[in-house]
Structure 1
Amino acid sequence: MTQEIMKFAIDDGSTNVKASWIENGILKTVVSPNSFRKDWKSAALLRGQKVFNYTIGTTKYTYDATSDKALSTTHIEYQYDDLNLLAVHHALLQSGLEPRPVSLVVTLPITEFYNPDDCQRNEAKIEAKRRNLMRDIELNKGELFQIVEVEVMPESLPAALSHLLSANCSEFTKSLVIDCGGTTLDMGVIVGEFDDVSAIYGNNEIGVAMVTDAARKALAAADSDSSYLVANELIKRRHDMSFVQSVVNDESRIPEILQRIETKIRELGDQVAYEAKKFAKHPNRVYLVGGGAPLIEGAIREAYATLGDRVVMVENPQSALSREICLYHAQQPASAIAEPVLLEVGEDA
């Protein structure tokens, strides 16, 4: 009997992969951090703790949440390389489902999906992304999902679809969608309830990575070399002093580290706000999506102060894109939406 092909929506960002699927009528989402290094990890000491050792071609990789040797994914080439293939397969394994044939809808940043000169689809890059995810990969002492089909969509804009459909927009309403991710800033202006996309903008030099890099350097100066994952977790949990103390060895440097992070967050917000106002000076609504949305919310609200509550940070902004794509491409309707499962530092299973 032929096994049914299950569909996943994958927002494979440089910092985290967001995977959404519908299971028994429930839309489920998992957020899987990217933290891979070369070579394999030894078997876990604790019973039941999983080790994920992969092979692509002749190169061995492992998932390692805390290693300071974790390979960088904060560059645009990540979309087409081994680390992207690793990250997507690893995220699928975090679904808790038994490995099976799957069809994927994945994303590319706007700057990669469209040609900058004519705003038409960049078929060469779309095909490169698709072919990358169709490559062979092996999991030591384990089974992987079999990717049988890959469809590629542009990032950002679909993340606000549900909000637009329920916002009573007129055919003249202009909505600015701002997606601040790990590596890229994507924006688009949507007319009406998605009647038209009037303009798009992408910048692959603005993203949360500028805060992450500053956090890693500050940690290194405090004898606390860390992975990108730990640095991002520190940014997210910077107000949790018990967590901060757990990752900083030289505690006398903690105020300096936190100040450095806050300074970079302000710089990120200012840069995004400047680019947004230059791109769309007077939109009727603004929607914030992406993992960096909480970091830039204050700056965007200040930049578009007259809009008040029409500046909206969507619920669970980090995983909004994968959820909306999943609902749009669903083979069956979703009767409920579960809270995203966020895999934290130390959760290697």
Structure 2
Amino acid sequence: MTLAKMKFAIDDGSTNVKISWIDKGVIQSITSPNSFRKDWKSAALLNNSKIFNYQIGATKYTFDATSDKALPTTHVAYQYDDLNLLSVHHALLQTGMKPGPISILVTLPIIEYYNAEDCQKNETNIERKKQNLMRDISLNKGELFEIIDIEVLPESLPAVLTTLMDSGVNEFTKSLVIDCGGTTLDMGVIVGEFEDVSAVYGNPEIGVSMVTDAVRKALAAADSDASYLVANELIKRRKDRDFVDDVINDVSKVDWVLGKIEDKITELGAAVAYEAKTFTKNPNRVYLVGGGALLIEQAIRDVYPSLGDKVILVPSPQEALSREICCYHAADEITETDVAVA
């Protein structure tokens, strides 16, 4: 029987895959963006440029950061399809660790992990996720990691494990966790230091993809067709004028594109704030995690004005989930002073 040499905690979101692992007693983390298209790339002209050409069954895929033909991952079905398998294996290769047999902890959105009617685990979806990641995949002229064991966990809530335990909450404190990801909005109410999870909620129609899709359309109208990865980078670096000018070809529409970005960010924030207030009217604390946390932070502060600094943006919110899962499942391997984030 093959034994796993390493364990990786993986938050395999639709926009980015976040991986954390323990290396020599220190926690390491990386974020790997998803941008794949069909067919293979030709060999790079520069020797130091790495080409990632994959094959699943009879279908060939390649990682392509800038192609406007990049396949969409902003849908819940991504959790069970070729693109999820590609994204996880591609992200593993970005860790710099030597490929070999491994075990992984991966995530599912709350609405996929739990049954809506009784909040119990959806064993069908959990098994479906496992089987998807156990499928065969190959890398042309390269070696992949061998996944031999998979555990599936719910998204968002574990991202605040350490934060809650260090925050001095009492056994009656209600903490609302808001995870705004690329595709879904996940929320949960935690009682005390994880004594209980009193409610969970997910919405597959609200996520950063609302902004990304609008930005791609705006870029196309400005003669600047772009991949999802480039569109997301523009959202993050929208105040960097040099980067903006490099991405947008039609200089007469630069301000118009930036205006579209800000309008959609406002719309996203309003949508998340409305859902949060409807789900939990008066929590004692609010924790923001996920890739969209920075975009919605002000809207959440505005909708819970009496909480003040008890609305908390978790450090490195995009990597928080993988990092916390890694820490929780390897608590005996590291000490608090050992922890470093790569």
The C-alpha deviation readout for 1:216-248, integer Å capped at 9, x for no partner, is: 000000010000000000000000011011111
Contact preservation (8 Å) 2:2, 2:101:
no
- In the superposition, the TM-score normalised over structure 1's length comes to 0.96
| Deviation of the 1:275 alpha carbon | 0.4
- Secondary structure in 2 matching 1:287: strand
Contact preservation (8 Å) 2:110, 2:200:
yes
- In the superposition, the TM-score normalised over structure 2's length comes to 0.98
Aligned to 2:27: 27
- Secondary structure in 1 matching 2:288: strand
Aligned to 1:332: 333
Aligned to 1:166: 166
Aligned to 2:295: 295
Using a 3 Å threshold, how does the CA distance of structure 1 residues 130 and 2 change in structure 2: closer, same or farther?
Answer: closer
Aligned to 2:208: 208
Give the residue type in structure 2 aligned to 1:336.
D
The C-alpha deviation readout for 1:184-236, integer Å capped at 9, x for no partner, is: 00000000000000000000000000000010000000010000000000000
| 1:221 lines up with 2:221 in the alignment | yes
Structure 1 CA distance for aligned equivalents of residues 339 and 15 of structure 2 = 24
| Deviation of the 1:332 alpha carbon | 1.6
| Deviation of the 1:338 alpha carbon | 2.8
Aligned to 1:114: 114
5+ residue gaps, structure 1: 341-349
Structure 2 CA distance for aligned equivalents of residues 288 and 336 of structure 1 = 25
Structure 2 CA distance for aligned equivalents of residues 134 and 87 of structure 1 = 13
Aligned to 2:56: 56
Structure 1 CA distance for aligned equivalents of residues 71 and 133 of structure 2 = 19
Aligned to 1:90: 90
Give the residue type in structure 2 aligned to 1:40.
W
Structure 1 CA distance for aligned equivalents of residues 231 and 26 of structure 2 = 32
Aligned to 2:256: 256
Structure 2 CA distance for aligned equivalents of residues 336 and 107 of structure 1 = 25
- Secondary structure in 1 matching 2:211: helix
The C-alpha deviation readout for 1:36-90, integer Å capped at 9, x for no partner, is: 0000001011111100000000000000000000000000000000000000000
Structure 2 CA distance for aligned equivalents of residues 4 and 110 of structure 1 = 28
- Secondary structure in 2 matching 1:307: helix
Structure 2 CA distance for aligned equivalents of residues 5 and 106 of structure 1 = 17
| Deviation of the 1:132 alpha carbon | 0.3
Aligned to 1:65: 65
Structure 1 CA distance for aligned equivalents of residues 109 and 2 of structure 2 = 35
- Secondary structure in 1 matching 2:318: helix
Aligned to 2:267: 267
Aligned to 1:105: 105
Using a 3 Å threshold, how does the CA distance of structure 1 residues 337 and 252 change in structure 2: closer, same or farther?
Answer: farther
- Secondary structure in 1 matching 2:11: strand
Structure 2 CA distance for aligned equivalents of residues 233 and 219 of structure 1 = 13
Aligned to 2:231: 231
- Secondary structure in 2 matching 1:126: helix
Structure 2 CA distance for aligned equivalents of residues 73 and 229 of structure 1 = 11
Aligned to 1:346: none
| Deviation of the 1:2 alpha carbon | 7.0
Contact preservation (8 Å) 2:174, 2:283:
yes
Identity of aligned residues (%): 69
Structure 1 CA distance for aligned equivalents of residues 226 and 274 of structure 2 = 31
Give the residue type in structure 2 aligned to 1:278.
T
Aligned to 1:80: 80
Number of residue pairs matched? 340
Structure 2 CA distance for aligned equivalents of residues 132 and 239 of structure 1 = 39
Contact preservation (8 Å) 2:4, 2:148:
no
Bigger Cα displacement from structure 2, 323-332 vs 70-79: 323-332
Structure 1 CA distance for aligned equivalents of residues 2 and 259 of structure 2 = 57
- Secondary structure in 2 matching 1:68: coil
Structure 1 CA distance for aligned equivalents of residues 243 and 45 of structure 2 = 24
| Deviation of the 1:100 alpha carbon | 1.0
Structure 2 CA distance for aligned equivalents of residues 138 and 310 of structure 1 = 47
Structure 2 counterparts to residues 268-287 of structure 1, below 5 A:
268-287=268-287
**Stretches of 4+ aligned residues off by more than 6 angstroms:** none
Give the residue type in structure 2 aligned to 1:129.
K
Structure 2 CA distance for aligned equivalents of residues 83 and 264 of structure 1 = 26
Contact preservation (8 Å) 2:4, 2:103:
no
Aligned to 1:182: 182
